[in-house]
Amino acid sequence: LWDPQVIRCNLVDRSKQHIHIEVDCRGINISFSFTVVYGLHTVADRRKLWEQLRSIHNNQQTPWVAMGDYNTFHRGEDRMVGDPVQDAEIRDFDGFLRARSMKILKHTSREYIWTNGHTYNIIDWALVNAR
């Protein structure tokens, strides 16, 4: 998908819930880290993901983008229709954002990105660090 003479990708870490790589864009002398996320479906199952992302953050030396399906909410307004979002569904994600100074990138696509026909949710996120 890319010319390895121009863009070099190095796998650093992976688990059931993430793949983390270092990207080196040789022609323009830019390096950054990129993590693809797929959060498991329960708060308890995602706790390992938060541990792994904290570990990645603690070792960051370059700008970092972490994006994907986190399967979690940032605010109560991230679910339209259906049961209200509970504090436990927000706590870990919010704590990660605050403790690590990560920012959510704004999206320009549909407002609600996941539905089962009865609830509409925002559960996909693109995060960046402040480096």
Say what the pTM is: 0.86
Q: Is there a contact between 14 and 20 (Cβ–Cβ < 8 Å)? A: yes
Model confidence over 87-97: pLDDT tens digits?
888 899 999 99
Residue 65 forms beta bridges with which residues?
34, 128
Q: What is the pLDDT of residues 49-108, one digit of tens each?
A: 999 999 999 998 899 999 999 999 888 888 877 788 888 888 999 999 998 889 998 877
Contact 79, 120 (CB under 8 A): yes
The Cα-based distances of 118 to 27, 90, 114, 127 in angstroms read 48, 21, 10, 27
The span from the CA of 73 to the CA of 4, in Å, is 36
